[in-house]
A and B are shown apart, each in its own frame.
Chain A
Amino acid sequence: RKEVEQDPGPFNVPEGATVAFNCTYSNSASQSFFWYRQDCRKEPKLLMSVYSSGNEDGRFTAQLNRASQYISLLIRDSKLSDSATYLCVVATTDSWGKLQFGAGTQVVVTP
């Protein structure tokens, strides 16, 4: 079983619509959670950290459910520029802060 699992998609989303997707993680001792964005053939870029109480950054809302071991990302009012692969990332308790990456969820925003 993979440590971090995501629906690969693609999620085809009309411009202006809302899209949401989850990611599950297997290590119950995981401490830190992130969403990264990766554009085609580029490096991942941090989109937002995910806090226990849930957090919002503009049109992006992230939630953490420790009991069920999943995190979610919701994108409101989707823009064409939101088209990308969204990587769910979980940090282990290792003191070096090793990150475990999901394979990503592809989002395609269409006009």
Chain B
Amino acid sequence: GAVVSQHPSWVICKSGTSVKIECRSLDFQATTMFWYRQFPKQSLMLMATSNEGSKATYEQGVEKDKFLINHASLTLSTLTVTSAHPEDSSFYICSARLTSGETQYFGPGTRLLVL
């Protein structure tokens, strides 16, 4: 199946710093990428939908100024957690959708721990 990578796989940072997470589709072009967050024992929660070349659409309750999303090409989307706080510690997962059909392929996730 299609491959999606994320980098870094885990990051520990101090409170107040910004963290950038990359999501890449390795063998296909993804018009749409999705960013999810998952807290322990909870479901994946969609944060935002990212379309190449346009502004991301954020879900209700997700601050767009805090979670900056850039989808500059058909193979790369980035999520920047600005001024991270301990409550932002979570498992961040991206997915990429093929240009046709609904199948989404997930990246391996990024574990963020904010101290």
A interface residues, Cβ below 8 angstroms from B: 4, 8, 32, 41-46, 87, 91, 96-104
Q: What are 24 sample pairs from A and B whose C-beta atoms fall under 8 A apart?
A: A4-B43, A41-B111, A42-B108, A42-B109, A43-B93, A43-B106, A43-B109, A44-B93, A44-B106, A45-B106, A46-B1, A46-B103, A91-B102, A96-B32, A97-B97, A97-B102, A99-B46, A99-B95, A100-B46, A101-B36, A101-B43, A102-B43, A103-B42, A104-B43
CB-CB under 8 A from B57, the residues of chain A are 96
Complex-state Cα separation, A16 to B43, whole angstroms: 28
Measured between beta carbons, the chain B residues less than 8 angstroms from A103 are 41-43
Whether, in the assembled complex, B89 has its beta carbon less than 8 Å from a beta carbon of chain A, the answer is no
**Across the interface, which residues of A come within 8 angstroms of B34, CB to CB?**
98-99
Interface residues of B in 91-106 (CB under 8 A from A): 91, 93, 95, 97, 102-106
Q: Which residues of B contact A42 (CB under 8 A)?
A: 108-109
Q: Mark B34-58, 1 if CB is under 8 A from A, else 0.
A: 1010000111111001010000010
Q: Kindly report which residue of chain B lies nearest to residue A36, judged by CB atoms.
A: B106
Given contacts A42-B109, A102-B43, 10 further A-B contacts (CB under 8 A): A43-B93, A43-B107, A45-B106, A91-B102, A96-B49, A97-B32, A98-B46, A99-B95, A101-B45, A103-B41
CB pair B108–A87 under 8 Å, yes or no, is no
Question: From A43, which residue of chain B is reached at the shortest CB distance?
Answer: B106
Interface membership of chain B positions 41-81, coded 1 if the CB is closer than 8 angstroms to chain A and 0 otherwise: 11111100101000001000000000000000000000000
Contact residues in A for B51 (Cβ distance below 8 Å): 96
Within 8 Å by CB of B104, from A87, A99, A104, lies: A99
What residues on A are CB-neighbors of B104 within 8 Å?
Answer: 97, 99
